[in-house]
Each structure stands twice: as structure tokens, then as C-alpha cells.
Amino acid sequence: MSGKITRSPSPSEVGIPMFTRRNIVVGGSVLSLAALLAACGSDEKSSDPTTAGTAAPSGDSTATTAGGSTETTGAGAPTGDLGEVTLGGIFTDDVPNRAILAAIETTGLDVKLNSVDRDSWVQNFNTYLQQPDDVMGWNAGYRMRAFASKGAVGDVSDVWETIGPEFGEGFKSASTGLDGKQYFIPYTFYPWGIFYRKSLWEEKGYEIPVTWDDFLVLLEKIKTDGLIPIASSNDGGWQQMGWFDMINMRTNGYDFHVSLMGGKESWEDDKVKAVFENWSTVLPYYQENFAARTWQEAATSLGAKESAMFLLGSFLVSNFDPEADPEAQAIIDDIDFFAFPEINPEFGQDAVEAPIDGYMKAKSPKNPEGANALLTAFGGAATIEAGVAIDSSVIAANSAADTSGYTPLQKKSAEFVSAAKYISQFLDRDTDPDFASNVVGAAFSDWLAGGSIDDVLQSVEAQKQTYTFE
Amino acid sequence: MSSDTTTRPVTAAPPAGRRKYRVLSGGDRLWLKFAVGVPAALHIGLVWIPSILTAILSFASWDNLRPISTVEAVGFRNYWQILTIFDINLFPALFNNLVLIVWLFVCSAGGMFFAYLLDKNIRGSRIYQSVFYLPVVLSSAVVGFIWKSVMFSKDQGLLNKVIPGASVDYLGDSSKMFEFQLPFMDFSLGLSKNFFAILVAMAWRHIGYIMILYLAGLKAVDPSLREAASIDGCTEWQAFRQVVFPALKPINVVVAVITIIEALRAFDIIATLGTQRGTEVIGTLVVSSLTGEGGGRTGIGSAYGMLLFLLCIGFIIYYLINNFKNTDAT
Amino acid sequence: MRAPTIDPRRMPGYHRGRRVALQVGLTAIAVSWLVPVVSAFYASFRSYRGDSLKNGVFSLPERLSFDNYVDAWNRGNIGRAFGNTLFILVPALILTLFFASLVAFACTRFSWRFNVFFLVLFTAGNLMPQQVAFQPLFQIYKRIPWPDILSDTNTGYLLGTKISVVLIHVAFQTGFCAFVLSNYMKTIPKEITEAALVDGASVSRQYFQIILPLTRPALAALGTLLFTWLYNDFFWGSVLLTQADQRPVTSSILVLNGQYTTDYNLIAAASVMIALPTIAVFIALQKHFVGGLTLGSNKG
């Protein structure tokens, strides 16, 4: 008997039994169990949409499901004749989910919700646009203008004729495409600022810095006091962009910043190098090992009084949940923010970073009238009030919205932004998105990890040449 | 004439060396045509044709949103760009792939080692088998969550809690463990610490997978051979090297090819662990250009894709020739 | 027929003490192998905000409950997601095995010009990186109109239906399965089909009544492997399906990744639920796994 294998041994020769009844039973029961579970899941399919117009307003809405679809029948005036409108966006978190459901209720429309998590939404938006919902959540700025100029989204100038009076100039220009038409309905916004805990600063005697020199002196003081001066994170590669934006606008002015974002300036320009020089003076005061830390972890250290300040958007407070943690409310009440310090007196503190979120219309929606109705509602005060009442981390863009229910932080944010001369949208929304994350974000990561500034900027400039900016 | 066909001897003698072929009926031919044609049409239409289209698109520029009429032919420009301007992305990624190939070979050896140990008919070998293979049946989303949050997380991860000393940022630390500079590149290549963390996660999965392949292979090795070796006074290592390992040759070929191809097209685990800077491989470069935030770099993404394909094709051809040559010989 | 049992005492290098050391060593390695999974399992029973966040992730629990499971089930719409997975998995599994066996049958039992060519085509196709085919496939699906009667999502086109995912799975996996089954079918003696030929059986009868039953062990083995691969697919389910409520269960874990908050224990519970079917199938049908992986590899 030779040891050479001359043909494939059949499974039975290597000890695999024939398909036995026992195995069929086990395998079959696994599958049927799964089928049973699936049947339970699909029973959630809710009410027949055509009853929306005829039933008396019963205010019914289905269970909050963060993933997948929810059919909601509004409790407002019967508008069943408009049919079902589909709405897609980032509604998977508990609070934003409840907020959007409350907002939809006020519209009285039959809306089918497609809730996707943030990463999938943003990553797959390009493919999503090939088969979009009627209305979709998105951001203002270059991010919107790029898609608009490619003809990928619908013109909503007609909706703006109705809602226009209730929005400031800054919001309208942020919603306008390069051809002068509007493609975006603003809904909420939130400012970026340097957040801190009031009680900690009082206790240590820190004062809010206004100039860059004051700022550096303060940072040194905090460090000698044994605290972490600046809470830092960069998971996802975008948080550090906030620092670049603010330092750039303070050092070189808002116009230069917009120009640079628009691809019209060279990244090897001395002005850009100056930004990095200024930035490097605060790096020693960063929380260590921040490259993969999430902003939630950094925010937690701020709340725990381990670090003294954190440059982030006002969504920072959503990290503290009063329902789960009794101390959270105390922390939220204790949090305040101040404007990024001035670097160049010529520009002062005139620019503010406040990304605007809102909605766009599909190029060819299945339900055009329904889409327009929903967008008009979103642009109205009543709807946004219902949403903001639940989600207090954002502020209504509509200037007619009632602000009496705002928390102190929300009120301060609203004033802060309305007093600003210039509003920027944040780096990844102000420039080509691919350029932002794959080139600039990566370059920042490289530089922060200790790369040479000249090499990094040269590479950015070279890669920039391969992009077409609108 | 008796029609009791079951007793008629089957060896109704065709001359030696020649088979007797029945002529297939028209219905039979049609059946066979469908039997092969339908699956082949599906396979060609959904796998080969898109791949060929990707090859074509790699010579074009398109943003995936505007109509097809806006596709613009640009010759070799995409390839030129990824080799010169985007080399800062491409070469570190390719180097990571290379590291992955070496690492997965080491893991395959580990798999073979475990298989050999488990083959000794020890108690509970079925349990050990299940344990080592478990990571392979888990979805990459689950594996990603386990390693990203449970093991490697800087503030909550098990490794940081258990290993004394300062917290290590396993996934974020892109500083290099070792570096070197090639003359024609103005950046250095090296193994990032966070890529090493990914290697650990991939080993967790790969070892079990290869182990099972070798387990089955070892079962097919004739034990009388090994007994004979023992009687002859071989040490275990000698017996392994001269008897067992050669008998595993067919499996070794398969494992080698699988290992290389998996290393080249790695994507899932790296993506679910967040594709941190320093952990890119050619697979992630393709996807980030085709679907990422911009998603409109169809030409560049396709060029990366074709590069990936070209790297794989050599090994695919080697595998095919190896297998089908043996087929014809048998 | 079982494999001849190895008597360890007659193998080279046998030594009592070494065997004990071996058992101990293997046990230690096995335990450490399981640590990641067990930690996730443990985390799934604790509450994030109330417990892990304050006391640390690996502290002793304040309270153990199934809350996370219920929460993950509802918020992640996991029941529905399982349904989606089944909708994709079952047809894909059956069709792949059916098509692959057809191709293997035609290519191995009959001699014709393009025999080997087709096998090569299928095998090479399976080794292709999936990323390469994705973009044009998307565009192709976008342009194939699909009637509502046959569609599960009524998008008007093949794009966006779960059927499109089934089709790409079948197209990809048929390759490997055809290759493996063809190896297996070669081991079926020609005499069996020869007898049928002489009896005047049609090709289709040969296939259904002779070859298919004989191939059952291989089909079972491949089936278990295929189940795992199809179930664990992450790529196609997330890039081809833009509506979140159509996605299979492996993509549903993403839904629980909050934009602002990552409830670590919640995701742990979701992970356990998602992993259960494949683990159950694996434990029950383990032998078939081993068989399936080796069907294509033990080639002389």
C-alpha cells in the first residue's frame, strides 16, 4: 500500500458521516427558528398609508425603531392625498430619532423614515444618490454645492419662496448653489467653541483668554496645576480639522480660508505654514495619545475635570445622559464655551464655525408634491420647534422659531452665531469631501504624528492638483 | 429476450483504451447547454463583465454621478497619478500587504502546528478544534467590534486594563516599529504599531482556518507510514519532516495560494477596525476611492482595483495550472 | 468507513510526560483564544451608562440582565434584519449548490471542448477580489428594469432589491463550489453512469437520480461552509442596499453605532445575537465544515 494519495478521498473516508437525520433535524430547526424570528420582526410593518386621510387624527405613531423604516402617520390635518413621502437621514440615535418623529408629527404627512447610521450614510452617499429617498438629510456648504452642480439633487428654490423670510442672509447663501438657485433647506446648526466646566475654572481661578498670548499663558498655568490643558481626540480623523480651521481663520482671515478650501490657494503658501507654526505651540498641551481616542472619551475626561478645555461642537453635551447617570445633569449645567482666541488683530474673532444641517430633495423624487410639502414644513417654525424641544444639542436655523425653551447653552449658541460676521461649515464640508478626508485629514494625522511640515504640505498640494474643484 | 438489464455485466467490453460514447440526444444536449449556460451567464455577467468594465474605467475619469456620457478617457493618467502623486498612499499600503503575506505565512505554519498537535488523538481535541475555529465563523462586523472595543480600546479595552503601565493606543498609534527608506521615495516605509495590532486580530482568525485544512489533510496521511518511521527510530521532528510534510504537499499548495490571495485582498477586518492611518492596504484604497465620502474618484479607484487584480492574477494562474494539470494527469 | 485510528503510542516521539504538557499547553492557548469572545459575552449583560462607564468595563457587575438584548433587538430592528438575511441566504444557498452541481456534472461526466475552460473560468472568478467588480455591477443593476411583481422592494429596477444581492452571491460562490464539486464528482466511478447510459436514461435523469444523491455528502459539507460565508457577508449587503430596513443582520450592528454615543454593551449584545446562528450551525454540523474545506484541497 503506497502512501501516495492518488485521488481525492471522499469525505466518508476521512471520517465524515453521511448526511444523517440528526444533522438534518438540527440544521432544520436552526433555520426554522430564524424564520420564526423573522416573522416576528416583519409584523412590525405598520398601518396602511391610505388610511391617513380618512381616519380621525388619532396621533398614532409606531414604536421607536432606530434602524430600518418607520411608518408614521401625522396627527395634523389629513393630507392623505399627497401619499407617502420617503425621508432618509441619520436618525439612528435615540434622541435625534425621537426628535424627527416629533417633527414629522407636526407636518401631518405620511412619512416613511429610512434611518441609517452616520458612517454608512456619509460613506455611501454617492451610491445612495443613485436611488435616493424623496427627501434626504445633508449638510450645507461645499458638500452640498458639489452635488448640486453635478445635477444630483433637486432644485428647491420654489420652497425658498415660501420660507425665505424666516431665514437670515447667511443661511440663504449657505443653501445656494453655484448657479444661484437653492438646493438646501436649513434645519439646525451648532457652533464649535472651546468648552470648559465653569466650576473647575472658578475653583482654579482661570480666566477666559481673548488673545493668543493670554491663551498660551493660561495653558502653561493649567499644565503646572497638574491638569490636562486640552482634551484631544482624533478618531475618524476629523476632530483636529477644527483646530486647523480656527487657527487659519484667526491667522489669515475668513476669505483666505474659503479660498484655500475652494482649491484656489496653494497649500505650500507661507500663510498656510504660519497656521501650522501657531498650531505647534499648543501641541505640548494636548492630551496624550489622541490619534485613536474618540471625542466621547475626551468629553468624558472634561466632565470628570481631568482636562480643562475641549475644542468641539456643541454636540459635546450629548455625551452626558441624565437618564443614565445622575451626575450628568450637573455636568451639563456646568458646561459653557468661549470663542477661539484672537491671533491676528486684523481679523479679531469675527469668524465662527457653525455647520448647518438640513434637507435636500432628490433629483427625481417618486412623490414630488409630497417632497415639496415636507421640505416646506421642515423650513417652518412649528416643525423645527418640535424637533429642538427634544434634541437640545442643536439650534433651530429658522429665526422665527420660539427660543423660550432653550437651555442656557442653546441660547448662548444662538446669540454667538447670529453675532458672528462669518460662518464657516467645517473643513470636511467646506471642500471636496474626498480631498478633505483622504488627503487633508490624512495629512493632519501624519503631521501630528511627527511628520515634516514641508513634506506633508507638498504632498497635499500635489494631490490637490488632481481634484477638480467647483 | 430478457430485459433484466440489472444483471447484464457492465463491462460490455469496449476495446482497451477506448471508451464507448453514446451519442447524446437533442434533448440531452439542450439540457446540458442550460445546465452550464445559465450559471455561466450569471457568473460572466455579474463577475467577469463588471471586472472588465473596471479595467476599462481605470483608463477613464468619471464621478459616478453624472450620466455615462460624461465618462472621459484619460489614457494612463490614473496609473501615473497613483504611482507618482498618490505614491504616499500606495506604497505604504503595498508594503502593508507584503507584511501581511509574510505574517499570514507564519500564521499558516502556526495553523499546521496546531493541527499536528490536535491530530495526536488527545482527549477533547474536538473542543480545541471548535475553539480555534470559532473566530472563522464570526462575521467580520462582530470580529471588528470585539477587537476594536473589547480588546484594543484605549480607555476601555481589555489589553490596557490587564497589562500594567500607561495606556497604549493600539489602533491609533501609527508610529513605525521599524523604518527604512528606499532611494526613489521621499517618505519612509515601515510597519506601523497599529497595523501590528491588526495583524494580531487577523492571526486570531487565520490560524483556525488553516488549522482545519491541515487537520483534514493529516487525517488522510497513512498512519502505517508514521508507525514505520517510529519503528525505524526517527525522532518526531524527523518523522514530520520526511514523512508527514511531503504527504501534505497538495494541501500546502492550496494553503500557500489561499494565504497569498487573502493577504492581497484583505479588507473586511481593517475596515471594521476603522481603517486608521497607517493600516491601509490596497483593498481599502480601492473602496475609499469608489465609495468614500467623495466617492467620485472612479478612475483612480478602478486603477487601484486593477493593480490589485494584477497582483492576484499571477497566483491565480499558478493555482489553476497546478490543479488542472493534475486533473488531466489523473 | 472511518479513517484508520491512530494509536498515539505507536507514533514517533510519544512520551507520557510530553502528552500531559501538551494538554496543559493547549488548554492554556484555548482559554486565551476565547478571551475576546467571552469578554464581549460578559459585557452584553451589563448596562453601559449605569455600570461599565462608571465602574470600568471589567469590574464585577452591579447588575446582570437581558436588557441590552431586548434593547438591541428593538432599536436595531434585528428581527427584521434576520428576515432579510434569510431572504437572501436561503435562495442563494440553494441556487448556488444547484448551479454548481449542474456545472460540475456537465464538466466532469462528459467530454467536450470547453470542459476545462469553464471550470477555469469559474475558479478564477471566485478568486477575484470583490472590490474590483462592485462599481460597474452597481451601474448594471441600476439599468435593469425589474417588474414590481418579482421585486421585494418595488424600486422599478434590479438595484435596491434583495434579489440583486442573491444574484451576486450566486454568481460569485458558484465558482468555488463548482470547482470543489467537480473534484468530488470525478471520484464517482464511471461505471455507475455507464450502466444508466446503457439503460437509456436521459442526461437529466442521470443527474437527478444518480449523481445528485451520490453527491449529497459533498453538498452537505459545502452547504455548511456556504451558509457561514453568505451569512457573514458584510460587503455586498451594505453597498448594494441603500434602504436600512432591507439590510441583512450583519450590517444591522452599524445601526447601533450612535452618531454621538457608542453604547458598548448594547453592541456586545447585538454581536452575540448576530453570531449565534453561525455558532449553532458550526457546533451542530462541525464535521461537515471540515469535510467541506477539504473537498477541493486533497488533490493528488
**Strand ordering across the sheet containing A307-313:** A228-230, A307-313, A192-197, A335-338
* Rounded-to-integer distance, Cα B114 and Cα A308, Å: 52
Question: For A302-311, A352-361, A377-386, B153-162, which range has the lowest pLDDT when averaged over its residues?
Answer: B153-162
* Rounded-to-integer distance, Cα B14 and Cα B322, Å: 32
Domain presence at residue B15:
no
ipTM over 0.85: no
What is the domain extent for residue B141?
A: 79-329
pLDDT average, residue stretch A317-336? 85
Cross-chain residue pair B85–A465, CB shorter than 8 Å: yes
Highest mean pLDDT among B7-11, C106-110, C247-251: C247-251
Phi, psi dihedral angles at A404 (to 5 degrees): -65, -25
- CB A127 within 8 Å of CB B291: yes
How would you write the pLDDT of chain B (330 residues) with one tens digit per residue? 334 444 444 444 444 444 445 567 788 888 888 888 999 999 999 999 999 999 999 999 888 778 888 888 888 999 998 888 888 889 889 999 999 999 999 999 999 999 888 887 788 888 888 899 899 888 888 888 888 877 777 666 777 777 776 666 677 666 677 777 777 776 778 888 888 888 998 999 999 889 988 887 887 777 787 778 777 777 778 878 888 888 888 788 888 888 998 899 888 888 888 777 788 899 888 888 887 665 578 888 899 999 998 888 888 888 778 777 765 544
Long-range contacts of A158-166 (CB under 8 A, 24+ apart): A158/A372, A159/A185, A159/A372, A159/A375, A159/A376, A159/A379, A160/A185, A160/A379, A162/A376, A162/A379, A163/A376, A163/A379, A163/A380, A163/A398, A166/A379, A166/A380, A166/A381, A166/A398, A166/A399, A166/A400
Question: For A360-364, A461-465, C262-266, which range has the lowest pLDDT when averaged over its residues?
Answer: C262-266
Please check the confidence at residue C1 and state whether its pLDDT lies above 70. Answer: no
DSSP secondary structure string, C62-129? Answer: S---SHHHHHHHHHTTHHHHHHHHHHHHHHHHHHHHHHHHHHHHHHHHS--TTHHHHHHHHHHHHHS-
* Rounded-to-integer distance, Cα A362 and Cα A368, Å: 9
Domain presence at residue B125:
yes
Q: Does residue C156 belong to the interface with chain A, where contact is any CB pair within 8 Å?
A: no
Q: Which of A261, B124, B213 is nearest to C296 (CA)?
A: B213
Q: Which of A319, A296, A280, A322 is nearest to A231 (CA)?
A: A296
Domain presence at residue B60:
no
Cross-chain residue pair A289–B175, CB shorter than 8 Å: no
Per-residue pLDDT at A118? 81
Per-residue pLDDT at B214? 87
Mutate to test the interface with C, among A131, A136, A320 (most CBs of C within 10 A): A131
Residues in A closer than 8 angstroms to C2, CB to CB, are 15
Question: For A313-322, A416-425, B157-166, B231-240, which range has the lowest pLDDT when averaged over its residues?
Answer: B157-166
Per-residue pLDDT at B19? 46
DSSP secondary structure string, C274-299? Answer: HHHHHHHHHHHTHHHHHHHHHTTT--
Residues in B closer than 8 angstroms to A360, CB to CB, are none
Per-residue pLDDT at A73? 44
Please check the confidence at residue A224 and state whether its pLDDT lies above 90. Answer: yes
Q: Provide Rg for chain B, Cα atoms.
A: 26
Q: Does residue B138 belong to the interface with chain A, where contact is any CB pair within 8 Å?
A: no
Fold of the domain spanning C71-297? MetI-like fold (1.10.3720)
Domain presence at residue B235:
yes
CATH number of the domain to which B205 belongs: 1.10.3720.10
Grid cell 485582498 is found at B265
Per-residue pLDDT at A272? 96
Cross-chain residue pair C10–B230, CB shorter than 8 Å: yes
% of chain A beyond a pLDDT of 90: 44
C-alpha cell at B143: 470580529
Instruction: Count other Cβ atoms within 10 Å, centred on residue A32.
Output: 10
Which amino acid, residue A343?
I
pLDDT average, residue stretch C84-94? 94
* Rounded-to-integer distance, Cα A47 and Cα A72, Å: 8
Per-residue pLDDT at A59? 32
Residues in C closer than 8 angstroms to A292, CB to CB, are none
* Rounded-to-integer distance, Cα B148 and Cα B223, Å: 44
Residue count of chain A? 470
Please check the confidence at residue A12 and state whether its pLDDT lies above 50. Answer: no
DSSP-derived letter for residue C255 is G
Mutate to test the interface with C, among B43, B59, B230, B318 (most CBs of C within 10 A): B43
Out of C12, C39, C279, closest to residue B236 by CB: C12
Cross-chain residue pair A151–B66, CB shorter than 8 Å: yes
Please check the confidence at residue A231 and state whether its pLDDT lies above 90. Answer: yes
* Rounded-to-integer distance, Cα C250 and Cα C234, Å: 6
| pLDDT tens, residue by residue, C126-181 | 877 887 788 899 889 988 988 888 877 777 888 888 999 999 999 999 988 888 88
Cross-chain residue pair C34–B131, CB shorter than 8 Å: yes
Q: Does residue C74 belong to the interface with chain A, where contact is any CB pair within 8 Å?
A: yes
Residues in C closer than 8 angstroms to B47, CB to CB, are 125, 128, 133, 171-172, 175
DSSP-derived letter for residue A404 is T
* Rounded-to-integer distance, Cα A143 and Cα A245, Å: 16
Q: Which of B170, B96, B146, B157 is nearest to A291 (CA)?
A: B170
Strands (E), B147-208: 176-180, 189-192
Residues in C closer than 8 angstroms to A88, CB to CB, are 243
Give the count of Cβ contacts less than 8 A between chain B and C.
333
Per-residue pLDDT at A6? 30
Highest mean pLDDT among A11-15, A456-460, B247-251, C44-48: A456-460
Question: For A180-189, C100-109, C201-210, which range has the lowest pLDDT when averaged over its residues?
Answer: C201-210
Q: How far is B249 from chain A (nearest CA, A)?
A: 10
Chain C touching partners, 3 or more CB pairs below 8 A: A, B
Mutate to test the interface with B, among C48, C127, C181, C255 (most CBs of B within 10 A): C127
Q: Provide Rg for chain C, Cα atoms.
A: 24
Per-residue pLDDT at A237? 82
Residues in B closer than 8 angstroms to C129, CB to CB, are 264-265, 267, 283, 286, 305, 308-309, 312
Residues in A closer than 8 angstroms to C48, CB to CB, are 324
Instruction: Count other Cβ atoms within 10 Å, centred on residue B207.
Output: 25
Q: Does residue A291 belong to the interface with chain B, where contact is any CB pair within 8 Å?
A: yes
**Considering only alpha carbons, which residue of chain B is nearest residue A127?**
B291
C-alpha cell at C177: 463550489
pLDDT average, residue stretch A1-17? 33
Between residues A194 and C119, the one the model is more confident about: A194
Q: How many distinct structural domains can be found in chain B?
A: 1
Per-residue pLDDT at A32? 39
Please check the confidence at residue A77 and state whether its pLDDT lies above 80. Answer: no
Domain presence at residue B46:
no
Please check the confidence at residue A46 and state whether its pLDDT lies above 60. Answer: no
Average confidence score pLDDT of chain A: 80
Highest mean pLDDT among A320-324, A399-403, C260-264: A399-403
Which residues lie below 8 Å from residue A124, measured CB to CB, with a gap of 6+?
B291, B295, C238, C239, C242
pLDDT average, residue stretch A243-253? 95
Pairing of strands A228-230, A307-313: parallel
C-alpha cell at B173: 498609534
Grid cell 493593480 is found at B307
| pLDDT tens, residue by residue, C268-277 | 888 899 999 9
State the pLDDT confidence band at A260, using cuts at 50, 70 and 90: very high
pLDDT average, residue stretch A224-248? 92
Per-residue pLDDT at C50? 62
Out of B169, B224, B295, closest to residue A126 by CB: B295
Per-residue pLDDT at A26? 38
Domain presence at residue B96:
yes
